[in-house]
Chain A
C-alpha cells in the first residue's frame, strides 16, 4: 500500500492493477457495508422505537466531568428513553465555547467563566453539578505510603518555582519532623494540555504564595517557572505515569485519579488549610470546606472554593459546572436539558452515591442545590 502512496506522490509511476479483482473487492466492500448498515438500522428499529419526540442532547467539555456524564448516560436512558445524550471530553475551554456558540446544548467546565467571558456571552449560566477536589501526590522512595508528608501551599509553590530544590530542604523538614527525607531533587510535574486541574492548582498557589500571583498567576494553562527538573504531562493519566517514573516528583492530580495514583505507589500529601491544619481530601474534609463556602456562594454560583476557612476544610476543592445557554433552540430541547440537569443534581438521580463514588466527587450540598435548581429553571 505504501508503494501506492509513494507513487501517488510522483516518486515513481503507478503499475496497472488487475481490474477484475479490484472491482470485485470494491463491490464486495460496498455490498457488505450496505448489508451491515441495513442490518443495523433494522436491528435499531426493532430494538427501540423511539417516540416521535426524540431529543438529542450533546455535551462537550471538561475531561474530569466526562466520566460522570458517561456514567449518567445509561442510567438516564431508563429515566427518559426519548432523550439521547452524547457526551464528549474535549476540555473545558471548548465546552464553554461550544455551549456559547450553540454547537452543543451543555458545556462542562471545571472552572467558572470569568467576568470577561461572561460579558461576551450574556445569558450563559454556570450551574454547579457536583463538587470535586484535587490532591497533591509525590514519588519519594523510602517514605512509606501510609506516612503522608505535610506540605503547605507556600512550600509546594516554592517547589514549582525551583526555590526548594531538594526534598530534605529545611522548609520541608520543619513540617515533617520524624520523617527521614532523602536528598533527592524535586521534580515538579504539571499539565501541558489546558486543564481545569491547572486552574485549581494555580488558584491555590496564588492564594498561598505571595510571589505566585505576580509571576505565574492562574489559569487553565500558565507559563510555568523555568525549572531544570520540571516536567510536563498530558492528562491526569500522563501525570500519574510520569510521577510514577520520576523519583522525587511532585504533582497535582484530579481526585478521580486518586486510586490510580495510590496504585502507582505515589504518596498523598496532607495539605495545610487556611486554619493551619494538615488534611487529606476525604468526603468529610471536602464537604466541610464546601459547607464553609455555602453562604458566600452568589446567585450565579461563580465562586472559587479554594482555600476555604474552617478547621476541617480541605483547601483544594471546586464546583464542577454545566455551562448552559438560557435560550435553547426549542422548548422541547430546553425541557430536555432542564430535566437532565435537575435529575443530575438530584440526590436520588445523578448525584447518587454510586455515581459520585466512581469519580470521587461529592454530591452538591443540600443548601447549594436550590441555587443550581433556580438557575436550571431559567433555561427556556
Chain B
C-alpha cells in the first residue's frame, strides 16, 4: 500500500514534468532564437522588418560593413519584407481558394452524396493531407506550374483590367499563384474533414423542421447548419492557414524564389520558411556570422507570426463561442 502510494506520487510528479515538456520546448526555442538574433536587430534596426533588400554581402571581401556596433560582410543588408509579403500573400491565396472549395465539398458530401459512396470519397480526399510536402513540390513542378503558365494565367489576365493584381506580365508558372494553389490543395483536406465532422454534429431535428417548413436544402444550410458550425469552421481555417504559413519544401520548389517585392499574382516570391531552407547554406559562408543571425531573426519573425495567428484564432473562437451561446439562449 505504502509503496503503491509512493509510486502514485512518483507517477504524478513524472506526469507533471512531462506536461511541462511543450512549454519548456517552446520557451527554449523562443529564447534561443531571440538571443541568437539580437546582433541582426542591432545591425539592421527596425528596417529588418521593413527593408526590401536581402543581401548577405560579399563574404570574399576583406572589407566589412559596420552598423550599430555589429560587423557584417561587405554590402550586407537584411530586410525581410519581401519574405513576409510572400508568406502572407501565398497563404492568403491558398485560404481564399481552399475554404470555399472545402466547404462546398463537405456540404455536398454530407447532404447529397449517398452514405456508402461518402465512406469511400471522404477518406480519398483526406489522403491528400498525408502526402509528403516534397511530393507536392514535385507535383507542383510537373503539373501545376505548366497549368498556371499556359492555361490559368492567360485566362486570369483578362481580369487584369478590373483587378490590377491579376494583370501581367506572367513570366513563368513559378510564383505566388502556383504556390497558393499547391498550398490550397494541401489545406483543402484539413478544412473538408473538419467541416464534414462538424456538419455531422448538426442536430437532425432543426434541419428536418426547416425542410418541412418548405426551405430548400441550401436555405437549411444557410440558416441552420452554417451558424451551428461557424466556430469550429474558423478553427479549421486558421489551422489550415497555419500550415500554409509554415510550409517549406513544397513552396520552395514552386514559388519561383525571388527576393523581390511581388508586383502581381504571377510574381516569383520567397516565403519566410523556404528562405530559411534556401539561404541557410549560403549564410554559413559569411564569416562574420551576421547572415546566420539574420536567418535566426527570420525564423523568430515567422514563429511570432504563426503564434500570433494561433492566438488570434483562439480569441476569435472564444468570442464566437460566446455569441453563439447567446444566440442559443435567445
* Interface assignment of A233: CB less than 8 Å from any CB of chain B: yes
**Which residues 112-157 in B have Cβ within 8 Å of A in the complex?**
126, 129-130, 141, 145-146, 149
* Interface assignment of A245: CB less than 8 Å from any CB of chain B: yes
Residue of A nearest to B252 (CB): A234
Interchain CA distance A5-B288 in the complex, whole Å: 43
* Contacting pair A96 B58 (CB below 8 A): no
* Interface assignment of B309: CB less than 8 Å from any CB of chain A: no
Interchain CA distance A355-B155 in the complex, whole Å: 49
* Contacting pair A221 B284 (CB below 8 A): no
Most buried by B among A11, A119, A217: A11
**Which residues 86-125 in A have Cβ within 8 Å of B in the complex?**
90-94, 96-97, 111, 114-117, 119-120
Of A2, A3, A93, which contacts B281 at CB under 8 A?
A93
Size of the B side of the interface (Cβ < 8 Å), in residues, is 55
* Contacting pair B270 A194 (CB below 8 A): no
Of A12, A116, A221, A226, which contacts B279 at CB under 8 A?
A221
* Interface assignment of B280: CB less than 8 Å from any CB of chain A: yes
* Interface assignment of A246: CB less than 8 Å from any CB of chain B: yes
* Interface assignment of B15: CB less than 8 Å from any CB of chain A: no
Interchain CA distance A272-B58 in the complex, whole Å: 26
* Interface assignment of B167: CB less than 8 Å from any CB of chain A: no
Most buried by B among A6, A223, A238: A6
Chain B residues contacting A234 (CB-CB under 8 Å) are 252-253, 257, 278
* Contacting pair B58 A219 (CB below 8 A): yes
Distance of A108 from chain B, by nearest CB (Å): 12
* Interface assignment of B54: CB less than 8 Å from any CB of chain A: yes
Of A96, A217, A219, A230, which contacts B284 at CB under 8 A?
A96
Chain A residues contacting B282 (CB-CB under 8 Å) are 91, 93, 194-195, 219-221
Chain A residues contacting B257 (CB-CB under 8 Å) are 192-193, 232-234
* Interface assignment of A218: CB less than 8 Å from any CB of chain B: yes
* Interface assignment of B256: CB less than 8 Å from any CB of chain A: yes
Chain B residues contacting A6 (CB-CB under 8 Å) are 190, 193-194, 197, 236, 239
Distance of B118 from chain A, by nearest CB (Å): 13
**Which residues 222-239 in A have Cβ within 8 Å of B in the complex?**
222-224, 226, 228-234, 238
* Interface assignment of A9: CB less than 8 Å from any CB of chain B: yes
* Contacting pair A94 B281 (CB below 8 A): yes
Distance of A308 from chain B, by nearest CB (Å): 18
Of A116, A238, A246, which contacts B59 at CB under 8 A?
A116
Residue of B nearest to A10 (CB): B235
* Contacting pair A229 B59 (CB below 8 A): no
* Interface assignment of B268: CB less than 8 Å from any CB of chain A: yes
* Interface assignment of A43: CB less than 8 Å from any CB of chain B: no
Interchain CA distance A3-B194 in the complex, whole Å: 7
Residue of B nearest to A304 (CB): B60
Distance of B154 from chain A, by nearest CB (Å): 15
With contacts A11-B198, A92-B285 taken as known, whether A226 is within 8 angstroms of B260 at the C-beta atoms is yes
* Interface assignment of A241: CB less than 8 Å from any CB of chain B: yes
Distance of B149 from chain A, by nearest CB (Å): 7
* Contacting pair A245 B232 (CB below 8 A): no
Interchain CA distance A9-B239 in the complex, whole Å: 9
Which bracket fits the contact residues of A?
Answer: 35 or more
**Which residues 162-214 in A have Cβ within 8 Å of B in the complex?**
187, 192-195
* Contacting pair A2 B173 (CB below 8 A): no
Chain B residues contacting A116 (CB-CB under 8 Å) are 59, 62, 73, 287-288
Distance of A65 from chain B, by nearest CB (Å): 14
Interchain CA distance A93-B194 in the complex, whole Å: 43
* Interface assignment of B171: CB less than 8 Å from any CB of chain A: yes
Distance of A167 from chain B, by nearest CB (Å): 16
* Interface assignment of B174: CB less than 8 Å from any CB of chain A: yes
With contacts A219-B282, A231-B268 taken as known, whether A11 is within 8 angstroms of B174 at the C-beta atoms is no
Most buried by A among B57, B130, B287: B287
* Contacting pair A2 B193 (CB below 8 A): yes
* Interface assignment of B206: CB less than 8 Å from any CB of chain A: no
* Interface assignment of A1: CB less than 8 Å from any CB of chain B: yes
Distance of B261 from chain A, by nearest CB (Å): 9
* Interface assignment of B55: CB less than 8 Å from any CB of chain A: yes
Chain A residues contacting B281 (CB-CB under 8 Å) are 90-94, 193-194, 220
Interchain CA distance A221-B282 in the complex, whole Å: 6
Chain B residues contacting A11 (CB-CB under 8 Å) are 194, 197-198, 232, 235-236, 239
* Interface assignment of B172: CB less than 8 Å from any CB of chain A: yes
* Interface assignment of B39: CB less than 8 Å from any CB of chain A: no
Of B54, B62, B239, B280, which contacts A93 at CB under 8 A?
B280
* Contacting pair B59 A117 (CB below 8 A): yes
* Interface assignment of A242: CB less than 8 Å from any CB of chain B: yes
Of B73, B174, B190, B193, which contacts A233 at CB under 8 A?
B174
Interchain CA distance A246-B256 in the complex, whole Å: 13
**Which residues 20-58 in A have Cβ within 8 Å of B in the complex?**
none
- Residue interface mask B46-67, A partner, CB < 8 A = 1: 0000000111111111100000
Of B58, B169, B278, B284, which contacts A94 at CB under 8 A?
B284
- Residue interface mask B163-177, A partner, CB < 8 A = 1: 000000101111000
* Interface assignment of B259: CB less than 8 Å from any CB of chain A: yes
- Residue interface mask B211-233, A partner, CB < 8 A = 1: 00000000000000000000010
Interchain CA distance A10-B281 in the complex, whole Å: 38
* Interface assignment of B189: CB less than 8 Å from any CB of chain A: yes
Chain A residues contacting B56 (CB-CB under 8 Å) are 219, 221-222
* Contacting pair A2 B141 (CB below 8 A): no
Chain B residues contacting A222 (CB-CB under 8 Å) are 55-56
Chain A residues contacting B201 (CB-CB under 8 Å) are 12
Interchain CA distance A232-B86 in the complex, whole Å: 14
Could you list 17 further interchain pairs (A-B, Cβ under 8 angstroms) beyond the known A93-B283, A242-B174? A3-B197, A10-B235, A92-B281, A93-B282, A94-B281, A114-B60, A114-B287, A192-B257, A192-B259, A194-B280, A224-B259, A228-B171, A231-B258, A232-B256, A238-B253, A245-B173, A246-B172
22 contacts between A and B (CB under 8 A): A2-B193, A3-B126, A6-B193, A6-B236, A12-B194, A12-B197, A93-B281, A93-B283, A96-B285, A192-B256, A192-B257, A193-B257, A194-B280, A194-B283, A219-B57, A222-B55, A223-B259, A224-B258, A230-B258, A232-B256, A232-B268, A234-B252
A-B complex: 3 closest residue pairs judged by Cβ atoms: A194-B282, A192-B257, A91-B281
Contact surface of A with B, Cβ cutoff 8 Å: 1-3, 5-7, 9-12, 90-94, 96-97, 111, 114-117, 119-120, 187, 192-195, 217-224, 226, 228-234, 238, 241-242, 245-246
